[in-house]
Copies of this chain bind each other. A is one copy, B any other.
Amino acid sequence: RVDGARLWQSLMDLAQIGATPKGGVCRLALTALDGEGRDLFVRWAREAGCSVRVDAIGNIFARRAGRNDALPPVMTGSHIDTQPTGGKFDGNYGVLAGLEVVRTLNDRGIVTEAPIEVAVWTNEEGSRFVPVMMGSGVFAGAFTLDHALAQRDTQGTSVAEALAAIGYAGEQGPTPAVGAYFEAHIEQGPMLEANGCVIGVVQGALGQRWYDVSVQGMEAHAGPTPMELRRDALLAASALVAEVNRIALAHAPHARGTVGVLEVFPSSRNVIPGSVRMTVDLRAADDAVLLQMDAELRAACERLGHAGRTPITVEQVVYFPPQPFAPQLVEGVRADAQALGYSAMDVVSGAGHDAVYLARLAPTAMVFVPCADGISHNEIEDAQPEHLEAGCNVLLQAMLRSAKV
């Protein structure tokens, strides 16, 4: 069994870097603060006897040697970048649970057949740079390294520049084989808490399509311009926000639709908005439903373009289909939870995770634990130490089954 107090302490220590007044963390991908967080992880991993490697998209791999080092490693991990108003646990838990597994094996002097690796994937959140799950996406070949390196944030800084600035532009090379991949994560939703369960046995994750949408109107004076002559970009954009919500509700319960970003130009009280830039995030458990939602979004944009008065352009910037996890590993997680005496239930992940891309390369499973009120991507995100410890114990058992002692 793992040391729950040590795991908790590491989470609290890492959460100091980028801590916000409201108790959350703001450590956007590839910022100086992300660099500090990475440095801390690397120091801890070396202290735990791991060798550390960084790849060309900045993914960090901390390796604990196995008896047979030629075997593909059994890998775990997650990310330490956060949302602008993020919490202490999203991603960070998966990374530090992996480190705690290594520390526990060290304490017990356990040698595994296959090596164990703990990965820190670059820019999982997709908040500063798209695509989301960038590091694992490059690793799994979902898109190219060059595509990822060329992406820019709203300030114009590229991923390549940001990686170099924090010293995490590593060596390019072929993707190594992975024996199995596990990821522990807070649920980020309300199901476990509502059902009084400690462990979520994750069946798979919703598919996602993300879009950049822009609405073109015509800025004009808010006073003398009669209502019926206006080409108000915000009026059309607002109707689209309502449509995105309606589309998701129409495909309940396993569909989601969100507009997270909406920017108005020129943004003056007495100027009719001339243009709007916004994002759309659609998710569904079924790829055909997701495609149907895509069609409905495009039809809504066409309609709300009002025959050229407020034309709307839609560019898809992220797509991955719903991803089921490996049945055998999923069953293993369920069995480990049972053997350890934890209440468990099946869940589907509404969030994307690095595990979604790793599942293209290797048998993959995830372990969820509850978070307070199901709230994540919020500074008040919270989780109980005993739940985090339970998830880490399940992770340890599941990894040992794959890595063999």
Interface residues of A (CB under 8 A from B): 83-85, 125-127, 130, 132, 187-190, 206, 208, 210, 218-229, 232, 234-235, 237-239, 241-242, 245, 248-249, 252-253, 255-274, 279, 281, 283, 349-352, 374-378
- Given contacts A190-B226, A224-B187, are A377 and B270 in contact (CB under 8 A)? yes
Q: Establish whether residues B253 and A260, one from each chain, have CB atoms under 8 Å apart when the complex forms.
A: no
Task: Tell whether, in the assembled complex, residue A267 and residue B234 are in contact, meaning their CB atoms are under 8 Å apart.
Answer: no
The list of the 6 closest CB pairs from A to B, nearest first, reads: A189-B224, A224-B350, A223-B350, A223-B351, A238-B238, A222-B258
A223 proximity list for chain B (CB < 8 A): 188-189, 206, 208, 256, 283, 349-352
**CB <8 Å contact, A351 and B269:** no
* Bound CA span A245–B259, Å: 21
Inter-subunit contact B242/A260 (CB<8 Å):
no
Contact of A350 among B126, B221, B269, B377 (CB under 8 A): B221
Given A257-B227, A376-B224, A127 and B235 contact (CB-CB distance below 8 Å): no
B270 contacts A224, C-beta separation under 8 Å: no
Shortest A207–chain B CB gap in Å is: 11
Can you name 27 A-B residue pairings with CB atoms under 8 Å?
A83-B270, A85-B271, A132-B269, A132-B270, A188-B221, A189-B221, A190-B224, A218-B375, A220-B376, A221-B375, A222-B256, A222-B258, A222-B260, A222-B281, A222-B377, A223-B350, A227-B249, A227-B256, A232-B258, A234-B262, A237-B238, A238-B241, A238-B242, A239-B242, A258-B269, A260-B269, A261-B268
A239 to B259, CA, bound (A): 14
Give the interface SS of chain A, mostly helix, strand, loop or mixed. Answer: loop
Q: Name A128's closest neighbour in chain B (CB-CB).
A: B268
**B220 x A377 contact (CB < 8 A):** yes
- Identical subunits present: 2
CA distance A189 to B126 in the complex (A): 44
Given contacts A261-B269, A274-B378, contact A351 B224 (CB under 8 A): yes
Which residue of chain B is the closest to A240 with respect to CB atoms? B238
**Please, how many angstroms separate the alpha-carbon atoms of A176 and B259 in the complex?**
54
* Beta-carbon contact of A235 and B245 below 8 Å: yes
Q: A265 contacts which chain B residues (CB < 8 A)?
A: 85
Cβ contact within 8 Å between A225 and B266: no
| Distance A376 CA – B224 CA, assembled complex (angstroms) | 9
A256 to B: closest C-beta gap in Å: 6
How far is A242 from B232 in the complex, measured between Cα atoms in Å? 11
* B residues less than 8 Å from A238 (CB atoms): 237-239, 241-242
**Residue from B127, B235, B242 within 8 A of A268 (CB atoms):** B127
Across-interface contacts of A84 in B (CB, < 8 A): 266-268, 271
In the complex, what distance in Å separates the CA atom of A238 from the CA atom of B223? 21
| Residues of chain B with a CB closer than 8 A to A271's CB | 83-85, 127, 258, 260, 377-378
Kindly state the separation between the CA atoms of A119 and B350 in the bound complex, as whole angstroms: 62
Q: Which residue of B lies closest to A90 (CB)?
A: B221
